Structure 1
Amino acid sequence: MRKIAILIFIIFCSCSKEKTNKIPKEVPKEIPKEASYFKHIKSNDVKLAEPVYGDWLFSHKEKGQTFEQYFTSKHIVPTKEANIIYIRPIGNFNSLQKKQIKLANEYLEIYFQLKTKTLAPISNDVVPNSSRRMMYGHEQLLAGYLLNDVLKEEKPLNRIALMGLSELDLYPKPEWNYVFGLASYHDKVAVSSIYRLQDGELTSENFNLCLSRLLKISSHEIGHMFGLHHCIAADCVMNGTNSMEETDRHSIRLCSVCQRKLNSCIQYDNKKRLSDLEKYFKKNDLNDEFDLMKKDIGIIQ
Structure 2
Amino acid sequence: MKIILPLFFVLNLLFSSCGKKQQLHIAIQPFVGVNQVDIELVKSSLVENYKAKVDVLTPIEIPENTFVNVKSPRYRADQLIAYLKAQKADSIDHVLGLITKDISTTKQNPDGTVKLPKSKYEDWGIFGLGYRPGASCIVSTFRLSKRRPDRRSQLIKIANHEIGHNLGLPHCDRDPNCVMRDAAESIKTIDGVGSTLCDFCKEDIR
Question: What band does the TM-score fall into relative to the shorter chain?
Answer: 0.7 to 0.9
Select the residue among 68, 84, 90 that pairs with 1:132: 68
**Aligned residue in 2 for 1:245:** 188
How far 1:132 moved relative to its partner? Answer: 2.6
Cα shift readout 1:223-278 (whole Å, capped 9, x = no counterpart) = 1222222211112111111210111112223222223334xx2xxxxxxxxxxxxx
Listed as ranges, the matches of 1:145-156 within 5 Å are 145-148=79-82, 150-156=83-89
**Aligned residue in 1 for 2:59:** 121
Native 8 Å contact 1:171 1:177 kept in 2:
yes
RCO higher in 1 or 2 (8 Å CA, sep ≥ 6)? 1
Structure 1 counterpart SS, 2:194: coil
Q: Which has the higher helix share?
A: 1
Matched to 2:191, the amino acid is D
Native 8 Å contact 2:27 2:94 kept in 1:
yes
How far 1:91 moved relative to its partner? Answer: 2.9
**Aligned residue in 2 for 1:143:** 77
Matched to 1:121, the amino acid is P
Find the aligned partners of 2:170 and 2:70 in 1 and give their Cα distance. Answer: 34
Find the aligned partners of 1:134 and 1:230 in 2 and give their Cα distance. Answer: 28
Native 8 Å contact 2:105 2:126 kept in 1:
yes
Matched to 2:48, the amino acid is I
Select the residue among 82, 89, 93 that pairs with 1:160: 93
How far 1:142 moved relative to its partner? Answer: 1.5
How far 1:185 moved relative to its partner? Answer: 2.5
**Aligned residue in 2 for 1:87:** 28
Q: Based on CA coordinates, which of the two structures has the bigger radius of gyration? A: 1
The structure-2 alpha-carbon separation of the partners of 1:260 and 1:187, relative to structure 1 and needing over 3 Å to count, comes to closer
How far 1:217 moved relative to its partner? Answer: 0.8
Native 8 Å contact 1:180 1:192 kept in 2:
yes
How far 1:153 moved relative to its partner? Answer: 1.3
TM-score by length of 1: 0.52
**Aligned residue in 2 for 1:41:** none
Find the aligned partners of 1:91 and 1:225 in 2 and give their Cα distance. Answer: 23
**Aligned residue in 1 for 2:7:** none
The structure-2 alpha-carbon separation of the partners of 1:156 and 1:78, relative to structure 1 and needing over 3 Å to count, comes to farther
Find the aligned partners of 2:203 and 2:78 in 1 and give their Cα distance. Answer: 32
How far 1:134 moved relative to its partner? Answer: 6.8
Cα shift readout 1:110-154 (whole Å, capped 9, x = no counterpart) = 111110111111113x223x7332745xx3112122122x21211
How far 1:101 moved relative to its partner? Answer: 1.4
Find the aligned partners of 2:175 and 2:136 in 1 and give their Cα distance. Answer: 27
The structure-2 alpha-carbon separation of the partners of 1:186 and 1:249, relative to structure 1 and needing over 3 Å to count, comes to closer
Over the matched positions of the two proteins, sequence identity in percent amounts to 27
Matched to 2:204, the amino acid is K
Matched to 2:136, the amino acid is V
Structure 2 counterpart SS, 1:215: helix
Gaps of at least 5 residues in structure 2 are: 1-19, 107-118
The structure-2 alpha-carbon separation of the partners of 1:237 and 1:86, relative to structure 1 and needing over 3 Å to count, comes to same
Select the residue among 195, 211, 216 that pairs with 2:142: 195
Find the aligned partners of 1:109 and 1:147 in 2 and give their Cα distance. Answer: 21
Listed as ranges, the matches of 1:1-301 within 5 Å are 79=22, 83-93=24-34, 97-124=35-62, 126-128=63-65, 131-133=67-69, 135-136=71-72, 139-148=73-82, 150-156=83-89, 158-173=91-106, 175-199=122-146, 206-235=147-176, 236-242=178-184, 243-262=186-205, 265=206
How far 1:197 moved relative to its partner? Answer: 1.2
Q: Which has the higher strand share?
A: 2
**Aligned residue in 2 for 1:50:** none
Structure 2 counterpart SS, 1:159: coil
Native 8 Å contact 1:170 1:178 kept in 2:
yes
Corresponding pairs, count: 171
